[in-house]
């Protein structure tokens, strides 16, 4: 596979990779959440680069995330 080709992952592969259920991925698609995906007819596939990008955007910097002080 050359650099311009990307591996298309099934929803089962992505669910396993993210430690989620397939049902969660399906619910996210209905809510227009989660990683970008592509459709080939009825087949849903996720490109590795899109899954990696989604994971990067979900990162939380603990030093930046400040919780409001309790009264």
- 71 found inside a domain: no
Domain-embedded: residue 62: no
Structural domain includes residue 46: yes
With beta carbons less than 8 A apart as the criterion, state whether 9 and 54 touch: no
65 is a domain residue:
no
Q: Quick count: other Cβ atoms within 10 Å of Cβ 60? A: 7
User: In this structure, is residue 53 part of a structural domain?
Assistant: yes
Domain total of the chain: 1
Residue range 2-39, pLDDT digits in tens: 556 788 999 999 999 999 999 999 999 999 999 999 99
pTM: 0.77
| Full domain range(s) for residue 37 | 8-57
- Cβ-count burial of 48 within 10 angstroms (0-12 exposed, 13-18 middle, 19+ buried)? middle
Q: Could you tell me if residue 32 is inside a domain?
A: yes
């Amino acid at each position: 596979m050359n650099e311009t080709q990307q591996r298309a992952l099934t929803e089962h592969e992505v669910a396993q990779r993210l430690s989620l259920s397939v049902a969660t991925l399906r619910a996210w698609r209905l809510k227009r959440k989660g990683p970008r995906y592509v459709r080939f007819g009825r087949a849903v596939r996720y490109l590795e680069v899109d899954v990696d990008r989604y994971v990067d955007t979900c990162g939380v910097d603990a030093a930046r995330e400040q919780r409001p002080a309790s009264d």
